């Protein structure tokens, strides 16, 4: 082979080697990429599903798992007073399989159980005989730390009690309400099975709930018992706007009234008009949060015995219903301040304008009376006097000037006919007619008939016309915290819209104060305090039943309102079948003012001296024509 041939052969081998090297390089690159993809995939699976796969692996080994329950968050008042909390309790668990795994375990274990707890020996023998393969039998539940202390001591003292086996304690929590009935339908209650079932417990269930932990014990490859544990995540604490002291005062006053003069329902809202914060929300009758299905406080034993299961369920839901947000009704004359404010805003009436009241007005062929109809009417009254004397013809004349369309627009502006969005479940939107309301509808709406509202709507709307015209969304929770006190979320006051001008608001405060100083709301006055208020009496539908809702809405002090108080009494004592009056609502409101105003550091004004109320008149109402009953 000559030199040329050798060179050619060398070049061919070199070229072939390069091809082989190139193929190996490509193959190596592909393998590296595949390994990277596989590694990334494994990392992602481990990150997203590692816990589940770990459990699957453990499932194929001999193991036991124990759920570690989370602690539900507390509910607190605005000052930190605990209104609801979770208390740790213990369930007594027996493992029959382990007890029977060695004859020497049975006697000392059963002896310890009967000595430490109120358990029957024969019942335990029966469990071991019939459930010998079971590893989990719940013997007792919701035991306290004190109740399990003796057994715990024996289990720990293996020197003296070496053969007590198959007994352990499962941790759990039960919900406790330290003040029983306080703010019951606001706080609500929770169960271990269903979580929050009512009130704040229900609305903030996601925040109050946590995540259970779990502990796995299993036999590893070296035959040692190994444990893996996922820690619990406790629920958040809820800090409310409710003031325990204000709530307590109001509930006590409601109770005292109903012990003497029982009603179908009595409800009160206390609100900060500058923020929309609910300081108190109470209703009667109430129930015990620690035993919410007990109806014995409302019904006699004979009545309970006569109830079917359906009747019992309906009675419980009726009792649990929060009157302040879930009931709608015709507000009556407490609606009149809105009519006056709207007239002032539109410029169709002015301070000092006069109106004539003959005791009635004819609207679209229907005669609609005033509460002084039998006395011949109020005669000529100013705008202020028309409000403080609760004159229906004055309001109907304002409505005629406004017109139905404008009335409907203002109703919408102040939130009537729609939910306020308060952070409580079960709010009803109420009922309004809308912009196609008739002249007769507008007339009836002007004094609070033929329109349905809820109490929170009224309190929020009233707050806006006395606080300068600012409508704040009502709310009952102000902060959410971790179990260690770290703030998760702060709920600031939410200004929704402007409803009236500051000038109109100032004039409304003047009129409302006159209502307490010299008008029909005099009996709500407290000596030394500048209070403004308006009474209300509304005939319920169907009118032929002759039942009533009486109410009072007011604020204090009128120069700088810091408290709005709204009281509603549904079917007050001894008014069914007769004309209702607002006396009970006035007296209840005054008794609340007397204690709540000093507590809130709202000081007396030496210039505020209401007239003597001993013989002051009260508002009543007359039956409306049937044509006004349609909504």
**Rounded to whole angstroms, how far apart are CA atoms 131 and 99?**
11
pLDDT at 224: 56
100-128 pLDDT tens trace: 998 999 999 999 999 999 999 999 999 99
Q: Are 220 and 62 in contact (CB under 8 A)?
A: no
Predicted confidence (pLDDT) at residue 558 exceeds the cutoff of 60? yes
pLDDT of residue 386: 97
Could you give the percent of the chain with pLDDT greater than 70? Answer: 85
CATH 1.10.1740.10 fits 67-210+229-240, yes or no: no
What mean pLDDT do residues 297-312 have?
86
Considering only residues 167 and 28, tell me which one the structure prediction assigns the higher pLDDT. 167
Q: Is the pLDDT of residue 492 over 90?
A: yes
- The rounded percent of the chain whose pLDDT value lies above 90 is 70
What is the predicted pLDDT for the residue at 48? 64
Give me the sign of the Cα torsion angle 518, 272, 334, 435. positive
Strand ranges inside 247-338, DSSP E: 265-271, 278-284
**Predicted local confidence at residue 42, as pLDDT:** 67
DSSP one-letter string for 447-500? TT-S-BB-HHHHHHHHHHHHTTSEEEPPBSEEEEE-TTS-EEEE----EEEE-S
| Fold (topology level) of 329-625 | Beta-lactamase (3.40.710)
- What lies within 8 Å, CB to CB, of 513 at 6+ separation is 530, 531, 532, 558
Q: Is the dihedral of CA 585, 591, 594, 596 positive or negative?
A: negative
Tokens for 466, please give them.
Answer: 């006395």
Burial (CB count <10 Å: 0-12, 13-18, 19+), residue 49: exposed
Question: Tokens 């009996």 — which residue?
Answer: 523
218 DSSP β-pair partners: 63, 226
pLDDT mean over 155-161: 91
Cα gap 181→516, rounded to integer Å? 33
Question: Can you tell me the distance from the alpha carbon of 268 to that of 247, in angstroms, rounded to the nearest whole number?
Answer: 10
CA dist., res. 471 & res. 461, Å (int) = 7
Q: How far apart are CA 299 and CA 542, in angstroms?
A: 26
Position 192 pLDDT exceeds 70 = yes
CATH fold match for the domains 67-210+229-240 and 329-625:
no
Question: 104: burial class by Cβ within 10 Å (0-12, 13-18, 19+)?
Answer: exposed
Residue with tokens 């109120």: 118
Q: Which two tokens stand for residue 30?
A: 């592909």
Question: pLDDT confidence of 577, banded at 50, 70, 90?
Answer: low
Which of 137 and 613 is assigned the larger pLDDT?
A: 137
DSSP characters over 71-122: PPPPEE-TTS-EEEEEEEEEEEEE-HHHHTTSHHHHHHHHHHHHHHSS--HH
What's the half-sphere exposure (Cβ side, CA atoms, 13 Å) at 260?
8
Average pLDDT of the residues in 571-579: 79
CA distance 270 to 140: 44
Mean pLDDT of 227-240: 89
235: DSSP letter: P
Please determine, for residue 398, whether its predicted confidence score (pLDDT) is greater than 80: yes
Instruction: Specify the range with the lowest mean pLDDT, choosing from 3-17, 93-107, 385-399.
Output: 3-17
Measured between alpha carbons, how far is 398 from 349 in angstroms, rounded to an integer? 7
Q: What is the DSSP string of 333-378?
A: GGGHHHHHHHHHHHTSS-TT-EEEE-SEEEETTEEEE-TTGGGT--
Distance of alpha carbon 169 from alpha carbon 142, whole angstroms? 10
Per-residue model confidence as pLDDT tens digits over 435-460: 999 999 999 999 999 999 999 999 99
Peptide bond into 557 cis (omega under 30): yes
What confidence category does residue 7 fall into, taking pLDDT thresholds of 50, 70 and 90? low
Is the per-residue pLDDT at 627 higher than 50? no
> 614-619 long-range contacts, Cβ below 8 Å, gap at least 24?
616/520, 616/522, 616/523, 617/520, 618/520, 618/523, 618/535, 618/581, 618/582, 618/583, 618/586, 619/333, 619/371, 619/390, 619/520, 619/535, 619/536, 619/537, 619/581, 619/582
Mean pLDDT of 126-133: 92
Where along the chain do its domains lie? 67-210+229-240, 329-625
Assess contact for 228 and 64: CB atoms under 8 A: no
The predicted model gives 212-228 an average pLDDT of 66
| Cα distance between residue 621 and residue 372, in whole Å | 9
Higher pLDDT, 300 or 217: 300
- Which pLDDT score is estimated for 299? 86
Tokens for 342?
A: 């709207």
- Mean residue pLDDT of the chain comes to 88
Which carries the bigger pLDDT value, residue 268 or residue 197?
Answer: 268
197, 191 in Cβ contact below 8 A?
yes
**In the structure encoding, which two tokens stand for residue 245, read together?**
């002291």
Q: What is the pLDDT of residue 544?
A: 86
> What pLDDT band is residue 59 in, cutting at 50, 70 and 90?
very low
Please tell me whether residue 438 adopts helix, strand or coil conformation: coil
Two structure tokens written together for 181? 């009935």
pLDDT exceeds cutoff 90 at 344: yes
3-state secondary structure of 55: helix
pLDDT tens for 73-100 read 999 999 999 999 999 999 999 999 999 9
From the number of C-beta atoms within 10 Å of its C-beta (0-12, 13-18, 19+), residue 91 rates as: middle
Q: Within 13 Å of residue 583, how many CA atoms lie on the same side as its CB?
A: 15
Residues belonging to the chain: 631
Phi, psi (degrees; rounded to nearest 5) at 458? -65, -45
Q: Are strands 137-143 and 167-176 parallel, antiparallel or unpaired?
A: unpaired
Residue in the structure block whose two tokens are 């209840």 = 588
């Amino acid at each position: 082979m000559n030199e040329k041939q050798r060179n050619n052969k060398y070049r061919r081998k070199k070229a072939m080697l390069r091809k082989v090297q190139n193929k190996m390089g490509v193959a190596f690159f592909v393998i590296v990429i595949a390994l990277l993809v596989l590694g990334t995939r494994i990392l992602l699976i481990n990150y997203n599903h590692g816990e589940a796969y770990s459990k699957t692996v453990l499932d194929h080994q001999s193991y036991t798992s124990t759920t570690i329950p989370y602690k539900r968050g507390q509910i607190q008042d605005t000052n930190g007073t605990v209104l609801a909390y979770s208390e740790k309790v213990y369930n007594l668990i027996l493992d029959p399989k382990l007890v029977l795994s060695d004859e020497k375990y049975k006697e000392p274990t059963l002896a310890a159980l009967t000595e430490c707890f109120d358990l029957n020996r024969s019942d335990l023998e029966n469990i071991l005989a019939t459930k010998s393969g079971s590893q989990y039998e719940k013997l007792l539940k919701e035991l306290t730390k004190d109740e399990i202390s003796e057994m715990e001591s024996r289990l720990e003292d293996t020197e003296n009690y070496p053969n007590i086996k198959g007994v352990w304690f499962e941790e759990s929590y039960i919900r406790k309400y330290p003040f029983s009935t306080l703010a019951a339908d606001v706080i609500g209650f929770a169960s271990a099975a269903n979580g929050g079932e009512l009130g704040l417990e229900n609305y903030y269930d996601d925040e109050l709930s946590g995540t259970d932990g779990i502990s796995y014990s299993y036999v590893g490859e070296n035959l040692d018992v190994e444990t893996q544990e996922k820690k619990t995540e406790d629920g958040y604490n809820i800090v409310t706007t409710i003031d325990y002291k204000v709530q307590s005062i109001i509930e006590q006053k409601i109770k005292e009234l109903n012990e003497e003069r029982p009603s179908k329902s009595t409800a009160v809202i206390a609100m900060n008009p500058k923020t929309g914060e609910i300081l108190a929300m109470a209703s009667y009758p109430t129930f015990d949060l620690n035993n919410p299905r007990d109806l014995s406080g409302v019904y006699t034993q004979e009545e309970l015995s006569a109830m079917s299961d359906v009747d019992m369920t309906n009675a419980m839901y009726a009792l649990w219903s929060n009157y302040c947000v879930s009931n709608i009704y015709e507000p009556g004359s407490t609606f009149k301040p809105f009519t006056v404010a709207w007239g002032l805003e539109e410029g169709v009436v002015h301070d000092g304008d006069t109106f004539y009241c003959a005791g009635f007005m004819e609207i679209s062929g229907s005669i609609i009376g005033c509460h002084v109809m039998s006395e011949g009417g109020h005669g000529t009254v100013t705008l202020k006097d028309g409000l403080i004397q609760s004159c229906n013809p004055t309001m109907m004349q304002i409505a005629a000037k406004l017109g139905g369309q404008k009335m409907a627009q203002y109703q919408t502006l102040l939130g009537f006919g729609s939910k306020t969005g308060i952070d409580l479940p079960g709010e009803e939107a109420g009922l309004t007619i809308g912009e196609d309301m008739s002249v007769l509808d507008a007339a009836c709406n002007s004094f609070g008939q033929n329109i349905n509202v809820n109490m929170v709507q009224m309190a929020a709307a009233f707050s806006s016309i006395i606080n300068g015209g600012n409508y704040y969304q009502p709310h009952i929770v102000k902060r959410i915290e971790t179990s260690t006190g770290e703030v998760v979320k702060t709920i600031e006051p939410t200004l929704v819209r402007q409803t009236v001008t500051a000038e109109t608001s100032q004039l409304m405060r003047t009129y409302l104060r006159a209502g307490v100083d010299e008008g029909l709301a005099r009996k709500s006055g407290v000596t030394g305090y500048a209070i403004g208020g308006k009474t209300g009496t509304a005939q319920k539908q169907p009118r032929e039943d002759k039942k009533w809702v009486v109410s009072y809405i007011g604020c204090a002090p009128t120069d700088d309102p810091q408290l709005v108080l709204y009281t509603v009494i549904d079917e007050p004592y001894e008014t069914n079948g007769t004309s209702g009056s607002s006396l009970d609502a006035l007296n209840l409101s005054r008794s609340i003012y007397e204690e709540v105003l000093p507590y809130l550091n709202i000081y007396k004004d030496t210039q505020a001296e209401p007239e003597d109320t001993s013989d002051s008149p009260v508002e009543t109402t007359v039956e409306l024509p049937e044509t006004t009953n349609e909504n």
